[in-house]
Amino acid sequence: MPTAKKRINLTVGDDLFLDLKHLAEKENTSVASVSHALLERALELKEDHYFSKVGEDRLAKKSKRISHKDIWD
């Protein structure tokens, strides 16, 4: 049955492939599943980093602050 998921062809070096293979064996899953999970995690970390930067930039500005309590009351 065809899948709705998109495919990515990825070429990796021998060392990286062996690392992925060992992780897959340890987790009793496929190299593709391990790669997918690691890509998802990497994107989450990139997103966290971006929003941390946005937050730091906002805190650096000298603007009026509204407390958390005041927002939700």
Q: pLDDT for 8-57, tens place per residue?
A: 999 999 999 999 999 999 999 999 999 999 999 999 999 999 999 998 99
Number of domains making up the chain? 1
Query: What's the Cα-to-Cα distance from 11 to each of 7, 14, 17, 54, rounded to whole Å?
Result: 13, 10, 9, 34
Residue 70, pLDDT score = 87
Domain-embedded: residue 68: no
What does the alpha-carbon distance between residue 6 and residue 16 come to, in Å, rounded to a whole number?
Answer: 22
Domain-embedded: residue 47: yes
What does the alpha-carbon distance between residue 21 and residue 33 come to, in Å, rounded to a whole number?
Answer: 11
Within 3-67, residue ranges assigned H as helices are 14-27, 31-60
Domain-embedded: residue 9: no
Domain-embedded: residue 53: yes
Task: Give me the domain span that covers residue 26.
Answer: 21-59
| pTM exceeds 0.85 | no
Domain-embedded: residue 13: no
